[in-house]
Structure 1
Amino acid sequence: MVLPFFGKKPGPGSSNKASDNSLGETTTSLEFTHAGSIGRSLAAAADKIQVVEVSVEDVAAIEEAAVLYANANESGAKAVLEEALEGGNKRSDRLWRMLFDLYRLSGDRASFESRGVVFAQLFEKSPPIWDEATPVAAARAVPKDAAPAVNLSGNLSGNARPQFEQLARIGAKTGKLRIELSRLKGIDETGATLLSDTIDALRRAKVTVGLLGARQALSLLEPHIKVGEPGGRAFWLCALAMLQQLGEQEHFEDMAINFAITFEESPPSWDPPEILQPPVEVAPAAPVPEQTPPTGFVMDGIIGGPQPEILRKLAVYASEHDAVEINASGLKRLEFVSAGSLFNQFATFRTQGKLTVIRHPNEMVAALMRVMGIDQVAEIEYKKF
């Protein structure tokens, strides 16, 4: 489940619904299934949520930049923010914050300083001061034209619909999208419908879609396919999409014939698969030297995937404290799956009567937290600008 962001609070009975401004790549591995508990925690937290006013014009750029950065596409995120500031949003405080932090994170001091001159002229005040934030990508940079990547894991069900709607929006903006399926453990019928419908919608919108790990997804779908038994139509359609991606035309045509026999309707036609190269890998960020021991629960470096060990340690920390204080000053990047897992954990803390405060995340991470609704179940303490 992903919740509205930028100060929008869920209304009564809407705690399990997502706005169109939501984003994610989460499946039920993130346990977005406890709508009742999360709803109660949000209601309890409603009077503590800080409203952040952001213009409608800024929202699309903020979302897209947060998505690209979470997928290690720093150059793409920079381009989105720079274009937005050069357009009609020159005085957007949030966009400036994100861009300056992104320059720091990528080690782009020249751009930081040149933008600082523009900032000073525009606002008639001093720009932010450069500090030596550790660059996130210590190895090769991700190409500017790289396709955004979405990693699915766990059990795919209809609970992931809000995330897929946002996924489709991002694909429509970028024109290409990679979906990683190799970590899926299960797919139910509503999940299969969601996946196949999303793939169809993206391709109708002329978005180039690459499915990585299609073999794993196919192995989860095939046990549900029974020739002559007119049930589980979604499993059939999703399996045919996987076969197309794998380029197995003969197997596809055999299944298509069985589909026609079983459902007495024309099957999808064969279409050669679209190939997208996997992303360039980046090295993990080097640790930031600490002058003094940090306070609170420290999150630093790059956090990606479900991160069960971090969640376990966080739960232990929470059990020993009345309030959960998270030091995120050294957190360089947060990926979607991890953000979803953290949302669930923070929502659980709310139901336990514990306040969670996330201190000083960089603006790119903070933007993703707002997109994923984390600011609805935890307080975010921003750095001074």
Structure 2
Amino acid sequence: MAMSLFGKKPNEKEASAPSKGARDPKGDLTTTTMDLTHLGAPGDVGRALAAAAGKIKVTESSQEEHAAIEEAAILYANASEDGARAVLEAAIDGALGKASEELWSMLFDLYRLTGNRTAFDARSEAYSKTFEISPPVWDASTPSPTPERRAAGSAPSVNLSGNLSGNARSQFEQLVRIGLKMGSLRIELGRIKGIDDSGCALLMETVEALKKAKAKLVLAGSAHALSLVEPKLVIGEKSNQAYWLLALSLIQQMANAEKFDEVALNYAITFEESPPAYEAPPAAPVEEAAPEPVAAEPEAAVDRFPMTGVIAGNQPEAFRQLAVYASQRTRIEIDASQTRRIEFVSAGSLFNQLAQLQGQGKLTVIHHPNALVAALLRVMGVDQVATIERRKTA
């Protein structure tokens, strides 16, 4: 990424200026992949992500409305239907009749998805007066409401792979926002291959931002990341300070107070300043295994791949089936009309999968997702690697 997960267009100078990140022998930027799939080796999607970054479109609406759309999409993705409803209703009620159709579409689809016909009908009249058109109808084809269970204390999780460098900033800024919104975040470091000084500084900024906001952060795979950082720690050489600080943070995550004291002392000797104080790490959230979605097995005669129900977990069965479907085609058609919800982590996984397909010269079209899913796909940048054909709510 540099995927702008919130769909904001990067500054043109920043987009064209060379990144401070590491370069490979061919001179290409080394990027960090947010691999949320656990579907084996994700491949290098850096070029596809870089190509997508310059194609982001900005629509005419207020920052407040953008924020409400993003917030509601993320809350719904994380199974907070009441929270999403509160955000959407407040945004519409506070806009004095000027709220966009997108906000209304998201709210009406939320009413449908949760089976709230009373609220739907009550809002229909206000919608009709606002836009001077016929009110929307209760769509019986919307996926029926089903009880969902989310583990208490579960946290959004992201799996990093590749080389971590400063050109992953947009990814981490988004992660901070997600962590602040959800109150917790889990970052998997066990699959990263390398980390440069700008990557160390970026990860530390993320740690400090979440710590300041008292959001729980778990850095899984800290021992592996530390093994990549430790060779840069040379006592007495006032260099690589970012590596030292990250090493101390990783050791703290490992709850190794004795080793922390040793490295902290060496840090003080090297830089002639006080090291960070040791703090016991938060307990890792206990997460239940996410239920696998039920997706129909695609057949050769089927024109569109059906993606149904709730897409959840780090390795949803639907994505494995999609990979098989896509391997036989140059144009991938996904029927999302019966997709009830896509979790935040799975949306990131979908982005990675479709970015790889785009890199292979394949075109993906996602047909008729509900307004909440469509908003999440834009938040996650999926619309930069696929075409999303939305359906009308009304």
Work out whether the TM-score is over 0.5: yes
CA distance in 1, matches of 2:114, 2:44: 33
What stretches of structure 1 of length at least 5 have no aligned partner? 19-23
Q: What displacement does 1:353 show?
A: 4.9
Aligned ranges 1:144-293 → 2 under 5 Å: 149-155=156-162, 157-158=164-165, 159-172=167-180, 174=181, 176-181=183-188, 184-186=191-193, 188-189=195-196, 190-203=198-211, 206-212=212-218, 214=220, 216-222=221-227, 224-225=229-230, 226=233, 228=235, 230=237, 232-245=240-253, 247-274=255-282, 278=286, 283=291
Q: What displacement does 1:208 show?
A: 1.5
> Root-mean-square deviation (CA), in Å?
4.3
Q: Which residue of 2 aligns with 1:21?
A: none
Q: Greater CA deviation, 69-78 or 5-14?
A: 5-14
Name the CA shift for 1:15/1:341 in 2 (closer, same or farther; >3 Å): farther
CA distance in 2, matches of 1:59, 1:162: 17
For residues 128-156 of structure 1, the C-alpha deviation after alignment (integer angstroms, 9 at most, x for no partner) is 3143644676343577xx78624334346
Q: Which residue of 2 aligns with 1:138?
A: 147
CA distance in 1, matches of 2:18, 2:62: 22
Q: What is the TM-score normalised by the length of structure 1?
A: 0.75
Q: What displacement does 1:299 show?
A: 2.1
Q: Is the 8 A contact 1:332 1:362 kept in 2?
A: yes
For residues 1-38 of structure 1, the C-alpha deviation after alignment (integer angstroms, 9 at most, x for no partner) is 114876969969938999xxxxx992597656533x55
Q: Is the 8 A contact 2:45 2:359 kept in 1?
A: no
Name the CA shift for 1:298/1:232 in 2 (closer, same or farther; >3 Å): farther
Residue of 138, 150, 169 corresponding to 1:129: 138
Aligned ranges 1:94-133 → 2 under 5 Å: 94-124=102-132, 125-131=134-140, 133=142
Name the CA shift for 1:202/1:305 in 2 (closer, same or farther; >3 Å): same
Q: Which residue of 1 aligns with 2:101?
A: 93
Q: Greater CA deviation, 249-258 or 116-125?
A: 116-125
Which secondary structure state, in structure 1, belongs to the residue aligned with residue 391 of structure 2?
coil
Name the CA shift for 1:185/1:14 in 2 (closer, same or farther; >3 Å): closer
Q: Which residue of 2 aligns with 1:34?
A: 46
Name the CA shift for 1:350/1:161 in 2 (closer, same or farther; >3 Å): same
Q: Which residue of 1 aligns with 2:90?
A: 83
Q: What is the TM-score normalised by the length of structure 2?
A: 0.73
Q: Which residue of 1 aligns with 2:24?
A: none
CA distance in 1, matches of 2:282, 2:210: 12
Which secondary structure state, in structure 1, belongs to the residue aligned with residue 70 of structure 2?
helix
For residues 263-293 of structure 1, the C-alpha deviation after alignment (integer angstroms, 9 at most, x for no partner) is 44321123454568556776556669xxxx9
* Letter aligned with residue 72 of structure 1: A
* Letter aligned with residue 165 of structure 1: E
Q: Does residue 61 in structure 1 map to residue 73 in structure 2? A: no
Q: Greater CA deviation, 332-341 or 63-72?
A: 332-341
Name the CA shift for 1:345/1:213 in 2 (closer, same or farther; >3 Å): closer
Q: What displacement does 1:296 show?
A: 1.0
Residue of 321, 336, 341 corresponding to 1:328: 336
Q: Is the 8 A contact 1:66 1:77 kept in 2?
A: yes
Name the CA shift for 1:284/1:69 in 2 (closer, same or farther; >3 Å): farther
CA distance in 2, matches of 1:96, 1:138: 24
Q: Is the 8 A contact 1:152 1:181 kept in 2?
A: yes
For residues 38-94 of structure 1, the C-alpha deviation after alignment (integer angstroms, 9 at most, x for no partner) is 556888xx7xx9885444331111112222223333332222222212212643211
Q: What displacement does 1:233 show?
A: 3.7
Q: Does residue 303 in structure 1 map to residue 311 in structure 2? A: yes
Q: Is the 8 A contact 1:343 1:373 kept in 2?
A: yes
What stretches of structure 2 of length at least 5 have no aligned partner? 20-31
CA distance in 2, matches of 1:180, 1:4: 16
Which secondary structure state, in structure 2, belongs to the residue aligned with residue 370 of structure 1?
helix
CA distance in 1, matches of 2:151, 2:330: 42
Q: Is the 8 A contact 2:156 2:345 kept in 1?
A: no
CA distance in 1, matches of 2:7, 2:192: 33
Residue of 73, 80, 85 corresponding to 1:73: 80
Q: Is the 8 A contact 1:3 1:17 kept in 2?
A: no
Q: What displacement does 1:181 show?
A: 2.9
CA distance in 1, matches of 2:310, 2:17: 29
